[in-house]
Amino acid sequence: MEVQTCSKCGRLFNWVGIGPRLCPVCKDQEEDIFKKVKEYLWDHKGATMPEVIENCGATEKQIKQWLREQRIEFAKGSGVTVDCERCGKPILSGKMCNECKKKMEEELKALSSGEELPVRKKVRDRDRMRFLNE
């Protein structure tokens, strides 16, 4: 436990060390909104971002984060996507597109077997840096 300031309301609270820096009150509020968004998307297939923001009281930032965490997903036709962290291609949710995920797996495999792939070395080094910085 460590005392942190809530990133939303500024109140001091005991932070457990994981998850967003939100006090219990703001966290509850966020969970409520999240439930609303999830239900709304369930009932309204093809809902768009402004629609969800207006009807559920969520912010675009929150929604994008939930998409990254793969907690929610918009329908294909809604046009709501996040960018693949590697190639920037729009994806429905998560961090990487399927191709990049596959490439990453191959690279990790090559890495653990000690095999050198000179063409991809540069990309790999960049990714490794990013992991270290995270």
How many residues form the binding site for Zn ion (CB under 5 A)? 12
Tell the smallest beta-carbon distance from residue 78 to Zn ion (Å): 20
User: Using CA atoms, how far apart are residues 44 and 124, in angstroms rounded to an integer?
Assistant: 41
Residue 49 Cβ vs Zn ion, minimum distance, rounded to whole Å: 21
By CB under 5 A, name the one of 37, 58, 82, 97 that touches Zn ion: 97
Is 82 among the residues that bind Zn ion (CB under 5 A)? Answer: no
Q: Which stretch binds Zn ion (CB under 5 A): 4-12, 62-70, 111-119, 123-131?
A: 4-12
Q: Which CA distances in Å does 16 have to 4, 11, 21, 57, 71? A: 10, 15, 9, 27, 21
Which residues of this chain interact with Zn ion, rule CB under 5 A?
Answer: 6, 8-9, 11, 23, 26, 84, 86-87, 89, 97, 100
